């Protein structure tokens, strides 16, 4: 199905056309092979970077495209509809560029052109083995020693852990609680940083997720972002944007599942007619289409608040919650529409369903999103 979009500029139309062309040429033909091999498509990310699609929301002076977030999210949606792991990689990488772009010094921002251009791939190291949702309780430590910080501890569930060129490390430089947390940006080659074996995940198998062990890794002090104690503020403001990225990925995945299910239901014959003509199934597809449109609208409404410089944290939580729950529902129902055929790997809907699950977990579980929203309601 063609999505009818309202875009702010002609340039935005061109960007979405470019994203669609690259997605059809570079992503769709490769996804099955790379997912089966659990191989990360590093060259695809370089292609996206050289096409200008990795730095869409960042300033032109740093190599970005200075595009509104609503445009960037719709590019993500298109990528996710062809290959979710790539779209999630773009979202994570964009998130990884945020601390330097938003809080870095002029000297630190000299790193941005290579980051945004895709030559350097980023990872965002916040979660730890003993806790992900309670980020303020993280235990990874960084102790100042002359012109460096010595980092020790373990991070968990880190996307790009084994393939990243730089790491945003959220670590404790002070006392307990959020005020003791700082952010360091470390190069992959830093001695004492040890990526562990990749996790064996349910979906997104071409996206390498692993623990990172820091064994007295020395990170230059000039890689401290925003000053000591600023890390928690950086992390939370970045996650607001990251949640919108995951919401857009969810919309794209759900759209792909719906499109496949509708096409199948038009062609599949039972009792002398296409199964889409049976109201029980046709009405199900109608509900799914409506939910996807609602998820897209909620996500873009939050993005437009961000673009206008208005508070959007609450709306980002709503968008992430709703869009990812919709993706889980749509992909599950898409398998049901195909019946037995939906349960085998000959059709992509079984992969879509496995992939949708992780979107309800990353960038803050959906229970955390409900907590954010309910607390806001309680405060009035």
Where in the sequence numbering do the catalytic residues fall? 363
How many residues are listed for the chain in this entry?
A: 380
**Residue recorded with tokens 């470019």:** 18
CA distance 83 to 27: 6
Alpha helices in 23-146 (DSSP H): 31-37, 42-50, 69-82, 84-103, 112-116
Q: Kindly state the tokens that stand for 64.
A: 């970005």
State the angle between helix axes of 313-338 and 366-379 in degrees (0 to 180), rounded to the nearest 10. 140
In sequence order, what are the beta bridge partners of 158? 210
**Residue recorded with tokens 């083995």:** 129
CA distance 364 to 321: 9
Q: Kindly state the tokens that stand for 22.
A: 């690259």
**Cα–Cα nearest to 223, from 151, 119, 118, 164:** 151
**Are 210 and 199 in contact, with CB atoms under 8 Å apart?**
yes
**Cα–Cα nearest to 138, from 126, 123, 150, 124:** 126
361 phi, psi to nearest 5 deg: -110, -45
């Amino acid at each position: 199905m063609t999505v009818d979009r309202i875009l702010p500029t002609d340039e935005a139309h061109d960007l979405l056309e470019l994203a669609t062309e690259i997605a059809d040429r570079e992503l769709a033909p490769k996804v099955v092979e790379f997912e089966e091999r659990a191989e990360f498509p590093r060259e695809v990310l370089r292609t996206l970077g050289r096409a200008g699609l990795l730095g869409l929301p960042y300033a032109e002076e740093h190599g970005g495209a200075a595009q509104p977030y609503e445009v960037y999210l719709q590019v993500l949606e298109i990528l996710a509809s062809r290959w979710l792991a790539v779209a999630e990689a773009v979202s994570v990488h964009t998130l990884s560029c945020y601390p330097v772009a938003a809080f870095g010094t002029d000297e630190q921002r000299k790193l941005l052109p290579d980051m945004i251009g895709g030559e350097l791939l980023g990872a965002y190291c916040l979660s730890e083995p003993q806790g992900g949702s309670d980020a303020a309780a993280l235990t990874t430590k960084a102790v100042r020693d002359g012109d460096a910080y010595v980092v020790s501890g373990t991070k968990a569930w880190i996307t790009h852990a084994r393939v990243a060129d730089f790491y945003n490390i959220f670590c404790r430089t002070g006392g307990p609680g959020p005020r003791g947390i700082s952010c360091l940006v470390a190069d992959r080659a830093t001695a004492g940083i040890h990526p562990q074996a990749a996790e064996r995940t349910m979906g997104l198998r071409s996206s390498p997720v692993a623990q990172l062990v820091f064994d007295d890794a020395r990170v230059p002090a000039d890689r401290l972002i925003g000053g000591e104690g600023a890390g928690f503020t950086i992390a939370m403001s970045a996650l607001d944007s990251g949640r919108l990225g995951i919401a857009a990925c969810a919309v794209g995945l759900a759209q792909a599942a719906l499109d496949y299910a509708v096409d199948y239901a038009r062609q599949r014959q039972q009792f002398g007619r296409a199964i889409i003509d049976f109201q029980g199934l046709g009405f199900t597809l109608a509900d799914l289409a409506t939910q996807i449109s609602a998820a897209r609208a909620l996500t873009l409404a939050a993005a437009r608040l961000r673009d206008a410089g208005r508070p959007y944290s609450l709306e980002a939580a709503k968008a992430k919650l709703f869009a990812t729950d919709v993706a889980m529902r749509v992909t599950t129902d898409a398998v049901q529409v195909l019946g037995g055929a939906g349960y085998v790997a000959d059709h992509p809907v079984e992969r879509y369903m496995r992939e949708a699950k992780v979107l309800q977990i990353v960038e803050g579980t959906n229970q955390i999103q409900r907590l954010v929203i309910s607390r806001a309601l309680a405060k009035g």
